Amino acid sequence: METTRTALVVGGTSGIGLATARRLAAAGATVHVASRDPAKVAAVADAAPELVAHRVDGNDRAAVTELAGSLTPIDALVLTISSSAGLGPLADLDLAELRKGFDEKLIAMLTVLQAALPHLAERASITLVGAVSARAAMPGTAGIGAVNAAVESLVRPLAVELAPRRINAVSPGLVDTPWWDVLPEQARTDYFAAAEKGLPVRHVSSADEIAEAVALLATNPSITGTVLQVDGGARLVQL
């Protein structure tokens, strides 16, 4: 495991991003987290004083450039930007919402990558977070699956293009994070209980379980061009 001196986790104020930031900080890095949500930024500032929180929208190139420039050189860049836009069966899929999903996740990640690139250390790591919908056969996920497939497709060409910097991705499955807050609490509990019975590992992942994999990719100097599937076997079954 290499020494990470400065890390920036964009989307790092909740869920997988926050769990990853805490792991990197525990390993000795100075960790900055960024989010467009002011309430989440304030919450991190209060609850996780070991992290440095910033209010930055990933699609605001000027703001990302300013933040990244203030942190030069960045040893580990982690992008856990997420979006729930683009869910639903094809016949009813709102294509404007799907475009929003691409903007909120794929375009935001590309914006951050372009803005941060001049400020990354020579052998920095870049770690993206996609999702199992990129390859699983789950009805109602064709749209959001396309977004995540596009994110994960960045890894292999950029591993060569940006070398010796490393780029990888983690592809999680069902994870108990605030992403699921779109569902009423009881509906979420019921869905997780039913899903656990179908998953080969028989449990829904925690954010920290996924963060462990993200931190590995961010700090292991021999891993690049890899999409690590940490989905509890979700891609293998019909949930």
67-77 residue pLDDT tens? 999 999 999 99
Give residue 176's pLDDT band: very low, low, confident or very high (50, 70, 90).
Answer: confident
pLDDT of residue 108: 96
32-54 residue pLDDT tens? 999 999 999 999 988 899 999 99
Locate 122 and state its tokens: 């020579």
Enclosing H/E stretch for 38? helix 38-47
Cα separation, 12 vs 21, in Å, equals 7
pLDDT of residue 117: 98
Query: Which residues have a Cβ under 8 Å from the Cβ of 15 and sit 6 or more positions away?
Result: 80, 82, 175, 177, 178, 179, 207
76-113 residue pLDDT tens? 999 999 888 888 899 999 999 999 999 999 999 999 99
136-175 residue pLDDT tens? 888 889 999 999 999 999 999 999 999 999 999 999 988 8
183-228 residue pLDDT tens? 788 888 888 888 888 889 998 889 999 999 999 999 999 999 999 9
pLDDT of residue 238: 78
Evaluated on CA atoms 46, 51, 53, 58, the torsion sign reads negative
pLDDT of residue 179: 76
Is residue 132's pLDDT more than 70? yes
Give the closest residue to 65 by CA, choosing from 128, 125, 119, 9.
Answer: 119
Cβ atoms within 10 Å of 180's Cβ, excluding its own: 18
Q: Report the DSSP pairing between strands 175-176 and 166-172.
A: unpaired
pLDDT of residue 1: 58
pLDDT of residue 2: 64
pLDDT of residue 172: 95
pLDDT of residue 3: 64
* Reported pTM: 0.93
Q: Report the DSSP pairing between strands 6-10 and 51-55.
A: unpaired
Cβ atoms within 10 Å of 62's Cβ, excluding its own: 9
Cα separation, 157 vs 14, in Å, equals 29
Residue type, 139: P
Cα separation, 183 vs 189, in Å, equals 9
